[in-house]
């Protein structure tokens, strides 16, 4: 028989085998026992926490001819034929997200089940449906036939229209706890005759971030490398930093050993360890140190130093979303604390924290402010990297008096791009021609809105962004007003700088 990967082999086929979702399992089992079902459910939560598996277990129990205490009997015809039953329809909304697919579903849903009591539609990644598909689904959810039950699963429930959510019973799946996951991993190791170290299972839990499917995949892959799953084996295979190296960095900091700090961080950068994962790992480690200091279990370093170290690393983590030189920021964070006295550190931090924080509703916001704010709502390095890669192809473009070579993309989301330039006047000219520039960029497959600011203003905005994220000031989209008044003032300023014939005003 062909080898089956662990996460498939140990996929739960009954409520009793579902890990970490006790309250949800009990509620669904009671529904089966009482023969009291909703016509639509939505399962939401992080990936790999059992949403689709629970949907299948529930669908089997619903159609079981002899359920026992809410569980499927696995003996009747419906249970034995579950995997091939035409009455259990699984739809992957990521690849079948059009309105035509949902219309076909609506046409077929009126047909009675072939052998089961209910037709069960399991729609995975439902948030991927198009607006038209959601509209087509809405009517079906509003007036479904009695023999139809829908189970929708999603990792991004906020993308599902409220009109759909209001017609479903919602169940929120949570990440698997450490104790439950490690207990299950030990069971799998026992069944598969896999030897392991306890600290290796702890590391697998950390790497999986509460996702059981990822944990089983990691265990599966690592078990192929050696006869015993060890911590060293995991560190090599997944290129992650050990607690020992973090402890060494902390000791170098205590001793003021700058050369060793720089060398250790340079070595980590050379190995290709992801900076954000490194920062997250260090913050978790230093958090335990901070707790131990307060419990009087750690006395070799002050709580104030650890707190500032964590705060600085958190700034680095936030900055990693828009900065390519994250390792340089990590080094500076350690070096700033290395050999400094507590009172000097406190003064520096307090001066930084006392600066005003920008909020999205303070004062009247200009066209430029709004677009900068809207870009920061979903800013990410991937979007910036995409425009930077193609920017060399676009540099030679010119629209009227706007030469693209004068501008550089510095931040981006899926909907907005911020450009920086040397002169404020060039930024104003760019913004006046924003619509023309957007149409030109669309030809290069960038359907985004744009805004330009001076280099000095970009440095200010980037610092404000980092502090806002740290202080948990949430960025929210702001509707763009008509730019007539602002444009007229911009046009006046531009005409003072450039000849009228160089500026085409539409």
- Digit-by-digit pLDDT tens for the chain (506 residues) are 567 889 889 999 899 999 999 999 999 999 999 888 889 999 999 988 999 999 999 999 999 988 888 899 888 888 988 888 888 989 888 787 777 888 888 888 888 888 888 999 999 999 988 888 888 888 888 888 889 999 999 998 988 999 999 999 999 999 999 899 999 999 999 999 999 988 889 889 888 888 999 999 999 988 888 778 888 888 778 777 778 888 888 988 888 888 889 998 888 888 888 888 888 888 988 998 999 888 888 888 888 889 989 988 888 888 777 777 788 888 888 888 876 444 333 333 333 344 344 444 445 678 888 899 999 998 998 888 888 888 878 877 777 778 888 889 999 998 999 999 888 878 888 888 888 888 888 888 888 999 999 888 898 888 888 888 887 788 888 887 655 444 445 555 555 555 544 444 44
Would you say residue 188 lies in a domain? yes
The Cα–Cα gap between 222 and 200 comes to 10
Strands (E), 215-302: 228-229
82 and 162 assigned to the same domain = yes
Shared-domain flag, residues 302 and 161: no
Query: Beta strand pairing status for 398-399 and 402-403?
Result: antiparallel
Nearest CA among 310, 290, 311 for reference residue 300: 290
Is residue 342, in this structure, part of any structural domain at all?
Answer: yes
In a domain, 86, yes or no: yes
DSSP state of 443: T
Same domain (yes/no): 233, 267: no
- Start-to-end CA distance of the chain, whole Å, equals 71
Tally the domains of the chain.
4
pLDDT of residue 170: 94
Is residue 433 in some structural domain? yes
Same domain as 433, residue 325? no
Last residue of a domain, one of 207, 238, 269: 238
Tell me, yes or no, whether 477 lies in a domain.
Answer: yes
pTM over 0.75: no
Residue 68 in any domain: the answer is: yes
What does the alpha-carbon distance between residue 3 and residue 9 come to, in Å, rounded to a whole number? 9
Give the pairing type, strands 195-196 and 228-229: parallel
Beta strands in 68-203 (DSSP E): 88-92, 119-124, 148-154, 169-172, 195-196
Q: How far apart are CA 40 and CA 42, in angstroms?
A: 7
- Tokens linked to 367: 């066209």
- The distance from CA 426 to its chain's CA centroid, rounded to whole angstroms, is 35
Residue 19 pLDDT: 92
Identify whether residues 32 and 150 lie together within a single domain. Answer: yes
In a domain, 361, yes or no: no
pLDDT reported for residue 343? 32
184 and 309 share one domain: no
Same domain membership, residue 167 and residue 22: yes
Contact in structure between 143 and 177 (CB atoms under 8 Å): no
Indicate whether 268 and 377 sit together in one domain.
no
What's the pLDDT score for residue 175? 92
Last residue in a domain, options 126, 141, 172: 172
Both tokens assigned to 125: 């990644």
- Domain annotation covers residue 360: no
In terms of domains, do 345 and 479 share one?
A: no
Same domain (yes/no): 301, 376 = no
Same domain, 419 and 334: no
Q: Cα–Cα distance between 185 and 165 in angstroms, integer?
A: 35
CATH number of the domain that residue 313 is part of: 1.20.272.10
Residue at a domain's end among 154, 172, 190: 172
- Backbone φ and ψ of 483, nearest 5°: -95, 20
- Enter the tokens of residue 88: 């259990």
Same domain, 14 and 83: yes
What's the CA gap between 49 and 68, in Å, rounded? 25
Cα distance between residue 493 and residue 485, in whole Å: 13
Residue 484 has a CB neighbour count (10 Å cut-off) of 7
Contact indicator for 57, 14 with CB cutoff of 8 Å: yes
Say which DSSP state 156 is in.
-
Q: Which CATH number covers residue 149?
A: 3.40.50.300
Give me the domain span that covers residue 289.
243-353
User: CA-to-CA distance for 461 and 369, rounded, in angstroms?
Assistant: 10
pLDDT for position 490: 53
């Amino acid at each position: 028989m062909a080898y089956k990967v662990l996460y498939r082999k140990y996929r739960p086929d009954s409520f009793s085998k579902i890990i970490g979702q006790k309250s949800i399992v009990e509620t669904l089992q009671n529904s089966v026992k009482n023969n009291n079902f909703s016509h639509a459910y939505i399962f939401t939560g992080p990936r790999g926490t059992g949403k689709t598996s629970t949907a299948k277990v529930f669908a089997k129990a619903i159609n079981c001819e002899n359920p026992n205490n809410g569980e499927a009997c696995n003996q009747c015809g419906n249970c034995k034929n579950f995997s091939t039953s035409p009455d259990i329809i699984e739809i992957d909304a990521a690849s079948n997200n059009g309105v035509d697919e949902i219309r076909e579903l609506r046409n077929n849903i009126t047909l009675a089940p072939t052998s089961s009591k209910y037709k069960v539609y399991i729609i995975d990644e439902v948030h991927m449906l198009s607006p038209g598909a959601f509209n087509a689904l809405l009517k079906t959810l509003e007036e479904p036939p009695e023999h139809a039950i829908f189970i929708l699963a999603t990792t991004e429930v906020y993308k599902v229209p409220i009109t759909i959510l209001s017609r479903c019973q919602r169940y929120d799946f949570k990440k698997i706890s450490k104790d439950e996951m490690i207990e299950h991993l030990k069971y799998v190791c026992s069944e598969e005759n896999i030897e392991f170290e306890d600290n290796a299972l702890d590391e697998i839990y950390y790497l999986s971030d509460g996702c059981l499917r990822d944990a089983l995949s990691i265990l599966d892959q690592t078990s192929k490398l050696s006869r015993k799953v060890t911590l060293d084996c995991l560190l090599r295979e997944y290129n992650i930093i050990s607690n020992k190296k973090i402890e060494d960095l902390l000791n170098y900091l205590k001793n003021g050993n700058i050369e060793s700090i720089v060398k250790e961080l340079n070595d980590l950068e050379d190995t290709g360890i992801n900076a954000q994962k490194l920062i997250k790992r260090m913050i978790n480690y230093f958090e335990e140190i901070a707790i131990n200091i307060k419990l009087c279990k750690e006395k070799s370093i002050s709580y104030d130093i650890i707190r500032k170290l964590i705060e600085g690393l958190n700034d680095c983590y936030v900055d990693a979303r828009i900065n390519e030189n994250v390792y340089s920021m990590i080094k500076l964070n350690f070096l700033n604390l290395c050999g400094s006295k507590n009172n000097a550190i406190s003064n520096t931090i307090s001066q930084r924290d006392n600066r005003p924080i920008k909020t999205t509703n303070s004062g009247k916001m200009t066209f430029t402010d709004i677009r900068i704010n809207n870009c920061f709502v979903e800013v990410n390095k991937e979007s910036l990297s995409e425009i930077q890669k193609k920017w060399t192809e676009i540099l030679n473009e010119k629209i009227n008096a706007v030469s693209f070579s004068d501008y550089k993309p510095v931040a981006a989301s899926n909907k907005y791009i911020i450009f920086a330039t040397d002169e404020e006047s060039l930024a104003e000219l760019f913004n006046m021609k924003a619509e023309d520039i957007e149409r030109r960029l669309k030809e290069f497959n960038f359907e985004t809105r744009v805004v330009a600011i001076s280099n000095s203003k970009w440095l200010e905005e980037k610092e404000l962004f980092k502090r806002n994220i740290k202080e948990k000031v949430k960025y929210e989209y702001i509707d763009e007003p008509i730019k007539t008044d602002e444009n007229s003032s911009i046009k006046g300023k531009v005409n003072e700088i450039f000849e009228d014939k160089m500026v085409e005003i539409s």
